[in-house]
Structure formats: structure tokens, C-alpha cells
Amino acid sequence: MFSFAIDYYLMVVIAACGVLQIAASVGRLDALLLFKTPLAARALGVILAVAGPVLFFATAERNINDYEGGLDGNFQGLFFILGTITALVLTFAATSFVNRSMDHPTQIENGIESLKRTNYARALANNTRFLRKHRRMWRTWTRPYFFG
């Protein structure tokens, strides 16, 4: 089961990294792209999203009951969540390193829109600084989302 679980985890990490590259290229979030051009990042994303399941299912027999060495639903869900979190962390770390020389304008947008102009590490620092500065305003900002 241990090898099967690790294989499943790696499949999820590879496929999720691919899906993140596709989503970042479609959403024009240039700071989350591993390549400069969105088309190349999208191609890498498609390759990774297809390669993960192909490697998982092509390397061994995967139609195994959970009591014969396969994964039951709870562990499968756990490894899926852990794999997607790992893919997020890997993507954020790799793209922050690759895009470390991105332009960092004086006025950066808040939220996810900041990933169009600056890398994840700088965007996180700027957004954290902004939220810390305006921490009393969060109720005013969130009221329309919850109370119409």
C-alpha cells in the first residue's frame, strides 16, 4: 500500500501542477507561470496534467481493492488534498524563484490581481502589509459578500 499511496500522491502533485499552469495562463497571472509565454506554460500544463495519470496507470496494475493493497476513499481523499497543497507550494516557490526579477511597480493591486505584475512572494508581502495596515476595515469590506 505504501508504494501505491506514494504513486497516487505523486500523480496528484504532477497533475495539479499542470492544472495550475493552465489556470494561470488562462487567467493571465504571469507571476505564476514557469515560462514567460502563456502558450508555453499552457503546453507544459497540458503535458503535466496528462502525464501524471498516464504514469500512474501505465506503470502497474491500479485496479486494486482497498483490502488488497489499494487506497480506501478516506486515504485517497487525504492524499489528494496533500498532493494539491504540495503542488500549490511547489508552484508558488518555483515561480517566485523563476520570476524574481519581475517588475515591481510602486502601486500593486491587492488580492490575486497583484499576480499579474509581481511574483508570489512580493504579492504576499504587499497584501499582508496592506491588510495589517487596514485591519479594522475588514468588516466593511466583507459585509456586501455576506449581507447583500
Question: Where do the domains of the chain lie?
Answer: 2-102
Mean pLDDT estimate for the chain: 86
23, 109 in Cβ contact below 8 A?
no
pLDDT at 69 over 90: no
Cell representation of residue 143:
459585509
How much is the pLDDT for 148? 62
Instruction: Give the number of C-alpha atoms closer than 13 A to the C-alpha of residue 137, restricted to the C-beta side.
Output: 6
> Which one, of 4, 28, 64, lies nearest residue 12 by Cα?
4
Q: Would you tell me how many other CB atoms lie within 10 Å of the CB of residue 141? A: 10
How much is the pLDDT for 124? 83
pLDDT tens per residue, range 25-56:
999 988 899 998 999 999 999 999 999 999 99
pLDDT at 143 over 70: yes
Q: Would you tell me how many other CB atoms lie within 10 Å of the CB of residue 48? A: 21
Model confidence pTM above 0.95: no
